[in-house]
Structure formats: C-alpha cells, structure tokens
Amino acid sequence: MTLVLRVLLLFVLVLLALRAAGRFIGGVAAGAGAGAGARPRSRPGEPPVKMARDPVCGTFVVPGKALSATSGGTTEWFCSETCRDTFARRG
Ligand SMILES: [Zn+2]
C-alpha cells in the first residue's frame, strides 16, 4: 500500500467517524432539546383549569361540570349527588 492510499483511507475513515459522531451528537442534542425546550405551561397530569374540591369526599371536580350547591353565598362543587346530599344534610 502506498502512502497516498493510506492517507486517503485514513481520511475517509475519519470522515465517516465524524459523520457518525455528528449524527449521534445531533440526535442526542435534538432529544435533549425536545425534552428540555418544549416545556408545557402545565404538567401533563395537571389539569389546565382551576379545580374545585368536593368538601365531602375531597375529590377534585371541574367547576361548571360538577354538581353544585350554594350555601352562605359560596358555591360548592360535588363529585356526586351522594356527596351533595351529605353536604346538604350537614347544613
Ligand atoms: Zn364527592
């Protein structure tokens, strides 16, 4: 093997290695960027709307969709009629 061929072969190998490394690093950076950069305002498990708490059983319900009862000027939200009845009976 001549020196020119050896250098050429080395050059090609280095080039391939750099390309592979670049692709690897790029992929890792893209993955890390997607994880850290695209940060949503609220976490996935966290509801975007403000939740109301069922005063009877403590379940969080969506105001407006849940059952409600007004007592003393404040509106309470309930997960079920059972909880609402319990609250009403308690007074
Ligand atoms: Zn309840």
Model confidence pLDDT, tens digit, residues 57-77: 999 999 989 999 998 898 999
Q: What average pLDDT does this structure show over 3-10?
A: 92
Domains of the chain: total: 2
Any domain includes 86: yes
Q: Flag whether pLDDT at 34 surpasses 90.
A: no
Is it the case that residue 37 has pLDDT exceeding 60? no
Burial class (CB within 10 angstroms; exposed 0-12, middle 13-18, buried 19+) of 83: buried
Q: How far is the CA of 87 from the centre of ligand 1 (A)?
A: 10
DSSP type of residue 50: P
Q: Are residues 33 and 1 in the same domain?
A: yes
- Pairwise pLDDT comparison (48 vs 77), residue with the higher score: 77
Separation of CA 1 and ligand 1 centre (Å): 83
DSSP character at residue 16: H
How confident is residue 42, by pLDDT bands cut at 50, 70 and 90?
A: low
- Residue 33 within a domain: yes
Q: Name the nearest CA neighbour of 68 among 25, 57, 55.
A: 55
Residue 77 structural domain: 52-90
Q: What is the pTM of this model?
A: 0.46
Q: Where residue 9 falls among pLDDT bands split at 50, 70, 90?
A: very high
Q: What distance in angstroms lies between residue 57's CA and the mean position of ligand 1's atoms?
A: 4
CA 50 vs CA 10, 38, 55, 62: distances in Å: 63, 23, 16, 7
Question: How close is the Cα of 64 to the center of ligand 1, in Å?
Answer: 15
Judge if 32 and 61 occupy the same domain: no
Please give the DSSP secondary-structure letter assigned to residue 46: S
In a domain, 44, yes or no: no
- Rounded distance from Cα 22 to ligand 1 centre (Å): 56
Asked whether residue 58 falls in the same domain as residue 32, the answer is no
